[in-house]
């Protein structure tokens, strides 16, 4: 070890007696300073402006640790992106310099072993890498001073990723330096190797035999998790194995120069090292053997405890996930074999961390709905098999790898899923589908995966029953006024069916309302309820059933007889709110405190944290009736939505919306009160549980054209089941959301780190090099 340290010391001395190391150090320092201080000054400047002009300003609301260090203009992302440009220039002379000067022969003739030479030189470059880490550390230290409650975990993880990556690059450079006498060739060779390692993960992904091996060798994205604050054993082992491989290659190359062995023996050594790296890499990347450490303060990279609990309930029982890929369906490219690793590690790795024994199956097929004329119009004159063959050629796959329609239909009925790319989960004889979506995310998120897993554990999911028979809003129609989008639209990731609810409809005139349902929904009946239907609904309510009742202006008489026993009434007339942008019946009430506490939806949590009640969080209701107490009732009424004081009045009679704005006229029956409730929650204790009912004066805000009511729409259903579904996964609010400095201080830091400190280092390096040259 003494010899290794002596060689490392000599190498470091040579390194800093050359201008290259000083140039790279200063260039790296300037680069770090620019990316940190410019972003810092921009944030500090905006913070000063906000504080001066907005007395309610508290903070930016985002993690400034992530913004300054990991953002698009952050220091780590940009430094790592440009790191490969520095390292080859640093390592290109490590071995080739000894060869060119002839000192390698002296080393060979000395009692120093080859491995001591290699390890000594690599130790020297590792120490220099620590200097680069120290430069980054300067800005991490400043970040700790500049940011309130900085997230140290992210900084630690990102620094480790940076150091491992630069050590890997220098190991590659060390090997390339041993291959040639020409330093420029060594540098170019290092660029090429780094480029190959960055692209090899996409090679031969169609073939099962080599898919995992080439994916493991890829250096692309290896620091992504660490930059986000997640350290995994597979990433750490990867960097260690690549370093081991190239350092070993260097050792083999130098030994070959002083031994008389045949070329194939030397080749076998290279192969043995390479195979050992692949073997260790393959084993270490098995889900059951991967260790995780989420260093972030908010555990950003870990599944929410709600999801973890579901996985814990699954226990050690086997679970299978089968991906069905339709050659003729949407999303086919995501399911092809070459994208299997992306599917596995981008979608399922967080879940494999807690249940590593999941078995994955893949079924490839081609099929379409019977009588689907669209496909045949696109491919005129061709049979389904011929169309499949053409598409297989386009995707560069074999059509023989895809099951024919008759064969796949014997296995499973995928017609209800529209033959899209879909996953089927199987556990203890139960199955459920997990869907993909035509949006930027495509794959299901935790909010969809968790309910799907829960379906495997529960014999029954909460069911919403929508009443029909009186021209109510339909969950089966896709028209703009209907309720399909938020109820059963499988292609909508936020629909109830994808959030853990089942939905059905029934006609109360001919069918009984089942007991034990989650919610009974009566949405905008346009004809009067029959005596039979009213009796069944009243019986359901008398037994403590939950209900969602939505009315519309002009049809109050359809619901008021039913609402009378609940102690509320829809007020006759239409609420009016005049504005320069909207028609007068477009009213925008705000969420009350009770409305903001309907559920633990992240959107509602954010609103509660912002304390927006009565100030700005309005929900557009296109035509709404006010809700008023009718008489004493056993129910406690709590407004969920209420109009802004003094802005809204109630117009009696018929409202014309496409003419001049209506004028308040008491003689016509118009009335005005300080504010109007437009949605009310009714509660009472009955039979040992709390009965929950919501009455809304508008049904349009939950329609397809209004996106099903957005976050408020799904939270109405969540409140009915005591927040059991959807399975929300809110994250703690970041605390590193404000700077502790002003723009003036940030400007001084920018001057110091971009100009003064590099100039001092340049001066020191120049003095050292000049004195060395004189000696």
pLDDT of residue 615: 54
Portion of the chain with pLDDT greater than 90, in percent: 62
**What are the structural domain ranges in the chain?**
2-295+738-774, 305-455, 463-720
| Per-residue pLDDT band at 265 (split at 50, 70, 90) | confident
Residue 110: what pLDDT? 65
Answer whether residue 257 shows pLDDT above 70: no
pLDDT exceeds 60 at position 612: no
Q: Report the topology of domain 463-720.
A: Rossmann fold (3.40.50)
Q: Please enumerate in sequence order all residues whose Cβ is within 8 A of that of 17, keeping only pairs 6 or more positions apart, or say none.
A: 768, 769, 772
Mean pLDDT of the chain: 89
For the residues of 342-383, what is the DSSP string, one character each? Answer: HIIIIIIHHHHTT-TT-EEEEEEE----TT-HHHHHHSTT--
Tokens (6 digits) for 26: 């200063």
pLDDT bin (cut points 50, 70, 90) of residue 209 is low
Q: How are the residues of the chain apportioned to helix, strand and coil, as percentages rounded to the nearest 5?
A: 50, 15, 35
Q: 3-state DSSP call for residue 521?
A: strand
Task: Report yes or no: 656 and 512 within 8 Å, Cβ to Cβ.
Answer: no
| Rounded average pLDDT over 338-348 | 90
Q: List, for residues 455-508, the tens digit of each pLDDT value.
A: 999 989 999 999 999 999 999 999 999 999 999 999 999 999 999 999 999 999
The arithmetic mean of pLDDT across residues 722-736, rounded, is: 91
Q: What average pLDDT does the segment 408-429 reach? A: 94
pLDDT-based confidence at residue 155 (cuts at 50, 70, 90): very high
Tens-place pLDDT, residues 63-119: 999 999 988 788 887 888 877 777 887 888 777 776 665 565 565 556 678 788 888
CA distance 617 to 588: 9
pTM of this structure: 0.89
pLDDT band at 582 (very low <50, low <70, confident <90, very high): confident
Give 657 or 423, the one with higher predicted confidence: 423
Q: Are 537 and 562 in contact (CB under 8 A)?
A: yes
Tens digits of per-residue pLDDT, 525-562? 999 999 999 999 999 999 999 999 999 999 999 999 99
In the chain, the N- to C-terminal Cα span, in Å, equals 30
In the predicted structure, residue 716 carries a pLDDT above the cut 70: yes
């Amino acid at each position: 070890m003494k010899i290794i340290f002596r060689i490392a010391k000599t190498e470091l001395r040579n390194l800093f007696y050359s201008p290259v190391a000083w140039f790279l150090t200063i260039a790296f320092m300037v680069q770090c300073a620019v990316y940190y201080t410019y972003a810092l000054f921009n944030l500090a400047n905006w913070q000063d402006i906000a504080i001066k002009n907005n007395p309610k300003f508290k903070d930016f609301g985002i993690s400034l640790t992530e913004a300054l260090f990991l953002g698009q203009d952050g220091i780590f992302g940009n430094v790592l992106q440009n790191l490969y440009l520095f390292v080859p220039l640093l390592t290109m002379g490590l071995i080739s310099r000894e060869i060119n000067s002839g000192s390698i022969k002296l080393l060979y003739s000395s009692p120093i072993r080859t491995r001591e030479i290699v390890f000594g030189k690599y130790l020297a470059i590792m120490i220099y890498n620590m200097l680069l880490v120290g430069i980054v550390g300067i800005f991490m230290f400043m970040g700790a001073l500049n940011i309130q409650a900085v997230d140290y975990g992210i900084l630690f993880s990102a620094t480790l990723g940076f150091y491992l990556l630069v050590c890997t690059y220098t190991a590659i450079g060390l090997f390339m330096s041993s291959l040639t006498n020409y330093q420029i060739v060594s540098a170019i060779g290092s660029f090429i190797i780094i480029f190959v390692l960055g692209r090899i993960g996409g090679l031969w992904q169609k073939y099962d035999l080599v898919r995992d091996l080439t994916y493991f060798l890829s250096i692309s994205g290896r620091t992504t998790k660490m930059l986000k604050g997640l350290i995994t054993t597979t990433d750490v082992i990867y960097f260690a194995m690549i370093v081991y491989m190239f350092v070993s290659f260097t050792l083999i190359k130098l030994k070959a120069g002083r031994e008389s062995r045949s070329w194939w023996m030397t080749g076998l050594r290279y192969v043995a090292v390479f195979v050992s790296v692949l073997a260790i890499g393959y084993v270490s990347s098995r889900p059951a053997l991967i260790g995780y450490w989420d260093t972030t303060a908010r555990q950003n990279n870990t599944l929410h405890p709600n999801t973890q609990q579901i996985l814990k309930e699954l226990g050690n029982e086997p679970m299978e996930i089968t991906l069905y890929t339709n050659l003729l369906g949407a999303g086919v490219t995501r399911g092809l074999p070459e994208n299997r690793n992306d599917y596995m590690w981008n979608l399922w790795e967080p879940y494999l961390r807690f249940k590593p024994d999941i078995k994955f199956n893949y079924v490839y097929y081609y099929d379409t709905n019977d009588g689907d004329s669209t496909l045949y119009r696109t491919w005129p004159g061709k049979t389904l098999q011929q169309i499949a063959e053409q598409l297989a050629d386009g995707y560069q796959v074999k059509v023989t790898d895809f099951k024919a329609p008759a064969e796949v239909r014997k296995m499973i009925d995928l017609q209800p899923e529209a033959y899209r790319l879909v996953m089927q989960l199987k556990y203890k004889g139960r199955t459920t589908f997990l869907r993909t979506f035509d949006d930027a995310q495509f794959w299901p998120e935790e909010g969809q995966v968790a309910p799907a897993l829960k379906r495997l554990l529960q014999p029954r999911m909460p069911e919403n029953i929508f009443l029909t028979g009186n021209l109510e809003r339909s969950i089966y129609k896709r028209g703009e006024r209907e309720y399909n989008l938020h109820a059963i639209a499988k292609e909508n990731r936020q629909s109830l069916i994808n959030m853990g609810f089942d939905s059905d409809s029934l006609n109360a005139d001919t069918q009984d309302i089942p007991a034990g349902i989650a919610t009974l929904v009566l949405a905008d009946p346009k004809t009067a309820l029959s005596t039979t239907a009213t009796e069944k609904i009243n019986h359901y309510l008398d037994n403590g059933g939950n209900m969602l009742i939505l009315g519309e202006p002009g049809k109050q008489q359809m619901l008021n007889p039913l609402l009378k026993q609940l102690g509320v009434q829809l007020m006759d007339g239409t609420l009016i709110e005049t504005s320069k942008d909207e028609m007068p019946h477009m009213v925008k009430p705000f969420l009350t405190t009770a409305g903001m506490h309907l559920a633990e939806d992240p959107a509602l949590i954010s609103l509660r944290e912002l304390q927006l009640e009565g100030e700005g969080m309005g929900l557009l209701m296109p035509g709404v009736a006010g809700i008023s107490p009718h008489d004493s009732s056993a129910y406690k009424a709590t407004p969920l939505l209420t109009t802004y004081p003094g802005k809204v009045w109630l117009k009696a009679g018929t409202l014309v919306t496409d003419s001049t704005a209506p004028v308040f006229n008491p003689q016509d029956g118009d009335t005005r009160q300080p504010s109007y409730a437009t949605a009310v929650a009714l509660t009472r204790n009955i039979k040992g549980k709390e009965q929950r009912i919501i009455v809304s004066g508008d049904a349009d805000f939950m329609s397809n054209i209004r996106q099903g009511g957005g976050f408020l729409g799904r939270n109405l259903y969540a409140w009915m089941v005591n927040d059991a579904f959807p399975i929300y996964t809110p994250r703690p609010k970041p605390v590193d959301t404000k700077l502790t400095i002003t723009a003036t201080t940030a400007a001084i830091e920018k001057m110091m780190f971009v100009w003064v400190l590099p100039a001092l280092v340049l001066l020191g390096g120049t003095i050292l090099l000049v004195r060395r040259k004189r000696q």
